[in-house]
Structure 1
Amino acid sequence: MTDTPASSTPPSLPREVERAVELLFDRKAQDVVALDLRKLSTATDFFLIATGTSDTHVASIADHVVTELKTQGVRPLNVEGERGGRWVLVDYFDFVVHVFHPAAREFYQLERLWGDAPLHKLEPRAA
């Protein structure tokens, strides 16, 4: 993934962001992290970054997030990359969900690009 140190204490996330994290884990997303951009960017507050194991898995994860959040009245402003499956970006304005194929995540290295942002490794909630 990246050499950026991760905080062991996740930030207090807004309800919609917490739900998106749960939905990522519902579809077995890997290496899920949150970048807290609130002090660095006026464009968005958080990036959620996750990895799927294949193009199909990446698309399935992103589609699940979009579909389930819509049932709660949370609709994306934009979705990009659905057809390619290497990197799907779902923009919810206050947060952006990035789901990557492993090779694309390594290539784009968003965690390194936003290296000044606090990075929080997220884990699924214990059942």
Structure 2
Amino acid sequence: MTLSEETTELLNAAAQAAADALAEDLVAIDVTGVLPFSDAFLIVTADNPRHLSGVKSGIEDDVHEALGRSPRVEGDQNSEWLLLDYGDVAVHIFLREARDFYALDKLWNQAPRVNITEVSTTR
């Protein structure tokens, strides 16, 4: 399947914000047609709980500034996994141990990956 231009723009904005917040191991997955509630996943890793919170805030702030969109947030400051649900894009922010345990990358290994290699760590 192909992501819409709007979904691609949101995915890229979220990925750039995550990279700017120094998140690691960014993976974008196209789940269009597979899931009824989302078109893409962005999965990223944070080093520690404070970094997890910083990545969350960075994505929320940058996406809102760029696109005027705000997510529904699942999880809290004590979580090992936060979900920013933008509807068409679900951003999963994990601590390393939780990402390894839940293994969403492996769970969705049959779904196409979206190229986000042009996301840079500097603006």
What is the aligned partner in structure 2 of residue 37 from structure 1? 31
Distance in 2 (CA, whole Å) between partners of 1:112 and 1:25 is 22
User: Which TM-score applies when normalising by structure 2?
Assistant: 0.83
Which residue among 59, 62, 79 is the counterpart of 1:65? 59
Q: Does the C-alpha gap of structure 1 residues 120 and 16 become closer, same or farther in structure 2, counting only changes over 3 Å?
A: closer
Which residue among 70, 83, 94 is the counterpart of 1:75? 70
- Give the partner amino acid of 1:79: V
The reply to whether residue 49 of structure 1 matches residue 74 of structure 2 is no
Structure 1 runs (4+) greater than 6 angstroms displaced: none
Q: Does the C-alpha gap of structure 1 residues 126 and 55 become closer, same or farther in structure 2, counting only changes over 3 Å?
A: closer
- Give the partner amino acid of 1:102: R
What is the aligned partner in structure 1 of residue 100 from structure 2? 106
The unaligned stretches of length 5 or more in structure 2 are none
Deviation at residue 120 of structure 1 after TM alignment: 4.2
The reply to whether residue 119 of structure 1 matches residue 116 of structure 2 is no
Contact 1:31–1:121 (Cα < 8 Å) also in 2: no
Deviation at residue 20 of structure 1 after TM alignment: 0.6
Task: Give the superposed CA RMSD.
Answer: 1.9
Greater Cα offset, 67-76 or 20-29: 67-76
Higher helix share: 2
SS in structure 2 of the partner of residue 115 of structure 1 = coil
Distance in 1 (CA, whole Å) between partners of 2:96 and 2:114 is 19
SS in structure 1 of the partner of residue 83 of structure 2 = strand
SS in structure 1 of the partner of residue 25 of structure 2 = strand
Deviation at residue 92 of structure 1 after TM alignment: 0.1
Percent identity for Structure 1 against Structure 2: 30
Q: Does the C-alpha gap of structure 1 residues 24 and 82 become closer, same or farther in structure 2, counting only changes over 3 Å?
A: same
User: What are the Cα deviations for residues 33-56 of structure 1, in whole angstroms up to 9, with x where unaligned?
Assistant: 001101311210000000011111
What is the aligned partner in structure 1 of residue 16 from structure 2? 22
The unaligned stretches of length 5 or more in structure 1 are 1-11
User: Which TM-score applies when normalising by structure 1?
Assistant: 0.81
